Amino acid sequence: MTTTPVSIDAAGDRDRTKFNRDRPVLAVEHVQKTYRSRERSVEAIRDLHFTVQAGELVCIVGPSGAGKTTLLRCIAGLLPVSGGTVVFEGEKVSAPPAGMAVVFQEYARSLFPWMTVRQNVILPLKEKKVPRAERARLTDEALAAVGLADSHDAYPWQLSGGMQQRVAIARAVAYEPDILIMDEPFAAVDAQTRAELEDLVRELWRRLGVTVLFVTHDIDEAVYLGQRVLILSNRPTVILEDVAIDLPDDRNQLETRSDPVFAAHRAHIYGRIQEAKRGTAPSRPSSD
């Protein structure tokens, strides 16, 4: 599927200069999260501390149950932290901030089935009170950018899983967020579609200059996409390492994945996660 170049470059350039490069867009400061109910408490996140600078593409990789979704929900202001703070654009997060867009794994549940593709993409822009003509332009551009220029009037249930996830990405991009947060967005699509969507994320990131925080359990995906990869331990979760991925910006599925640098990063990250499983696995049985 080809994607059409769009004229969002100007907006991207504006965003690139909007923040001081030396000040992080996002600061996760010693965040802790324990789920408490009457019967039990689950310490999902012990202590996470990191920053994301404007324009970065940062991946977070960690085993299933490590608390990745928990972390993203805390960052997005959808869940209160038990300790520490999340600071977005200089302000403490306590409710969903205006400048964030989140793409979740479950595309089937994230789109409204009774609305067309176009209506799904345009809805948050109406809520954001973007003027009508601007809404139409942003929607056209975003749908073209994800290769769905011909599917405006389709309903989500008429589309494949991969196409539905493209709609969710278009909706996030049209919103012009300062940070795009993605929670294992491609875990439920087939391998071929997944590779295409990975390339789409890199392409949009490079073209729009948007800051991206991408969470996955897939080590290869994290190395392929990221400029940095934060490795999470298993629960209770801490950051094992912050790895700079020194692969060229021009990446492609065949060459990048057979690059010895790629293989070395993959082996290193895999080793760290295995080490953590052996050494610091929680002594009580996992709840999931």
Ligand X SMILES: Nc1ncnc2c1ncn2[C@@H]1O[C@H](COP(=O)(O)OP(=O)(O)O)[C@@H](O)[C@H]1O
Using CB under 6 A, which of 166, 202, 235, 272 touches ligand X? 235
Using CB under 6 A, which of 32, 51, 53, 69 touches ligand X? 69
Please choose which of ligand X, Mg ion, none residue 66 contacts, taking the beta carbon within 5 to 8 angstroms, the exact cut-off set by kind.
ligand X
Closest C-alpha among 221, 219, 220, 177 to residue 52: 177
Residue 280 makes contact with Mg ion by CB under 5 A: no
Of residues 33-62, which lie at the interface with ligand X (CB under 6 A)? 35, 42, 44, 62
Please choose which of Mg ion, ligand X, none residue 35 contacts, taking the beta carbon within 5 to 8 angstroms, the exact cut-off set by kind.
ligand X
Whole-number Cα distances in Å, 149 to 2, 115, 140, 196: 10, 17, 7, 17
Residue 65 makes contact with ligand X by CB under 6 A: yes
Residue 78 makes contact with ligand X by CB under 6 A: no
Residue 222 makes contact with ligand X by CB under 6 A: no
**Site for ligand X (CB under 6 A): how many residues?**
14
How many angstroms separate the CA atoms of 96 and 38, rounded? 27
The amino acid present at 281, given as its one-letter code, is A
Q: Is 68 in contact with 183 (CB distance < 8 Å)?
A: yes
DSSP 156: G
Residue 69 makes contact with Mg ion by CB under 5 A: yes
Q: Is 205 in contact with 147 (CB distance < 8 Å)?
A: no
Please choose which of Mg ion, ligand X, none residue 235 contacts, taking the beta carbon within 5 to 8 angstroms, the exact cut-off set by kind.
ligand X
Closest C-alpha among 8, 272, 3, 268 to residue 137: 8
Please give the residue whose beta carbon sits closest to Mg ion in the complex: 69
How many angstroms separate the CA atoms of 247 and 251, rounded? 8
Residue 82 makes contact with Mg ion by CB under 5 A: no
Residue 67 makes contact with ligand X by CB under 6 A: yes
Please choose which of ligand X, Mg ion, none residue 209 contacts, taking the beta carbon within 5 to 8 angstroms, the exact cut-off set by kind.
none
Q: Which helix (H) or strand (E) holds 3?
A: none
